[in-house]
Amino acid sequence: MKFTALYSRLSVGDEDRGNNESNSIKTQKEILEGYAKQNNFGNIKHYVDDDESGRFFDRPAYSAMKEDIKSGKVDIAICKDLSRWGRNYLEVEKAIEELRQLKVRFIAIHDNVDSINEETLRFAPFLKGIC
């Protein structure tokens, strides 16, 4: 059974940590889980890169998620916003296109990007937070 990948990332961890996880990551996970539940996306799996820069795409959890996507285990990938996916707009655009080619739905909640609706992808890489 395929699962829904929920991706969270924070480049600089905050000082207020509980259970070794930053508050920002906790908040992202809550947002992602709430969205998945609200939209009946089941069988979720979290991928978390805490203290990882978005400028590079060799992040541990991102790489693990990418391998699961390539092996056909994922049907939907969701992040809070595009800046969590990455900070390099060319790489983000390339990653979104790769997901489309693999028939994986991509959603960036706060940027209203959903690959099921191609119109939402038109200016996705140019939204705030991506440089």
Residue 41 included in any domain = yes
- How far apart CA 32 and CA 77 sit, in angstroms, is 10
For the chain, percent helix, then strand, then coil, each to nearest 5? 40, 25, 35
For the full predicted model, state whether its pTM sits above 0.75.
yes
Residue 112 sits in a domain whose CATH number is: 3.40.50.1390
Residue 9 included in any domain = yes
Residue 131 included in any domain = no
Residue 50 included in any domain = yes
Q: Going edge to edge, which strands form the sheet with 44-50? A: 44-50, 3-10, 74-79, 105-108, 113-114
Domain that holds residue 96: 3-126
Nearest to 116 by CA among 128, 124, 104: 104
Q: Tell me how many domains the chain contains.
A: 1
Residue 100 included in any domain = yes
Per-residue pLDDT 10s for the chain (131 aa) are: 899 999 999 876 555 555 677 888 999 999 999 999 999 999 999 999 988 888 888 999 999 999 999 999 999 999 999 889 888 878 888 888 899 899 999 999 998 889 887 765 555 444 444 44
